[in-house]
Amino acid sequence: MSEKKVWLVTGARSGMSVDINGRTLPDRRRALAAGLGLGAAALLTGMPTGARAQQANPSALPQAAPNGRRRLGSLEVSALGLGCQNFAGMYGPPVDRQEAIRVMRAAYDRGVTFFDVAEVYGPFLGEEMVGEALAPIRDKVVIATKFGFDITPDGQVRGANSRPDNVKRVTEASLRRLKTDYIDLQYQHRVDPTVPIEDVAGAVQDLIREGKVRYFGLSAAGSATIRRAHRVQPVTAVQNEYSVWTRDPEIEVLATCEELGIGFVPWSPLGMGYLTGTVTPLMVHGSADLRATLPRFTPEARRANWPVVELLQRVGARKQATPGQIALAWLLARKPWIVPIPGPTTRGHMEENTDALQLQLTSADIKEIEDGFARIRVQGARLNEPMLAMIDTGAKLGTSSKGGHGMSPLPRNARQ
């Protein structure tokens, strides 16, 4: 269910069983529901959908528009996107290419039209998979990708590089891998501390004028950087980590997006799998699993943070939903311009995620989550030190860009 989950490490495949309302569900969903104490009777009633759900919850907060779409600035996308990082491997080996293609096309059949990838995923493999999967339906989907690193032809990543000449060069390579002649949404992946953001925005503006890019976005950026970029080329979306247990964007980024009319795309909306309740304290992460290097994923931290999962479980028990679905519904209820991008690698997990769109959280549900979380002190930093060092000022806890200019250096004429 998560975009960053342990099933990537184990390589396990879900078996299929349990027919509920005519639908065949994976074993994992059955086990998850049983483990959460939802009970067979609750499962067999099915999840309220559409008008029935709204009637059952008259105080439901607005989530997806009636047509299941949302707007990032002026770009219309599905209310839930598909993060494609994990197909290329991050917590284990890459997913079989044909299986990845099947999952992406099945997601489209379920209404997902927003697909997120980056040149560094693989590197390059993620874009290749997305390009092959979406080529037959290119005019019906929105493809987002990212630049911002110095990557050798053999895939060695050598730090940040958002120099305008590099931005334009790697865009051509991304277009070839994505099998398209335009990119719908192009993000700077990380703020480059050596290149003024005005220069980066200007490079993307050139690409937009040439018809190679439609919209501009920023990832892991704080308010000062967002504002500076927006003055040169309107920013359509900001993609930062955000979930029930990672609240960094609430420092300043969400307010900035709302003020400027910018959409927000939470990455890791399921807490790298932890919020699904499947990443237990006893689980051992393999050497290829990024989470093995993260302070929040030590056995001690996982044990200390388990009350977050229990909180989501309690709400889910009433909603006949898994904790991960509650975590996605919570994000969708925050603002109508928030579009999470979980990244499942199997069809069953993708279906679990999209089922969250049918959930309606009431104001009481939201209050329970907020009040419960306020009593929990999350243990461990969300990323390791080298990774946190690449996150812009104001986009991570304990920092603010107010009165400053963020990590991006000022243009030369502004320093005089």
Question: Which positions are catalytic?
Answer: 121
Tokens of 146: 């990212």
Please give the DSSP secondary-structure letter assigned to residue 366: H
Count of CA atoms in the C-beta half-sphere (13 A) of 103: 30
Nearest to 206 by CA among 262, 260, 165: 165
Which stretch of DSSP H or E encloses residue 18?
A: strand 16-20
In this structure, are residues 131 and 162 in contact, taking their beta carbons and an 8 Å threshold? no
Q: How far is CA 68 from CA 60, 79, 81, 114, 330, in A?
A: 16, 6, 11, 12, 16
Q: Max alpha carbon distance in the chain (Å)?
A: 70
Distance between the two ends of the chain, CA-based, in angstroms? 51
Count of CA atoms in the C-beta half-sphere (13 A) of 126: 26
Tell me how far apart the alpha carbons of residues 118 and 127 are, in angstroms, rounded to a whole number.
6
What SS3 state is found at 184?
strand
| Helical H segments across 218-305, by residue range | 223-232, 253-260, 299-304
In this structure, are residues 335 and 306 in contact, taking their beta carbons and an 8 Å threshold? no
Phi, psi of 220 (to 5 degrees): 60, 35
Sign of the CA dihedral 24, 27, 32, 37? positive
Tell me how far apart the alpha carbons of residues 86 and 21 are, in angstroms, rounded to a whole number.
30
What SS3 state is found at 25?
strand
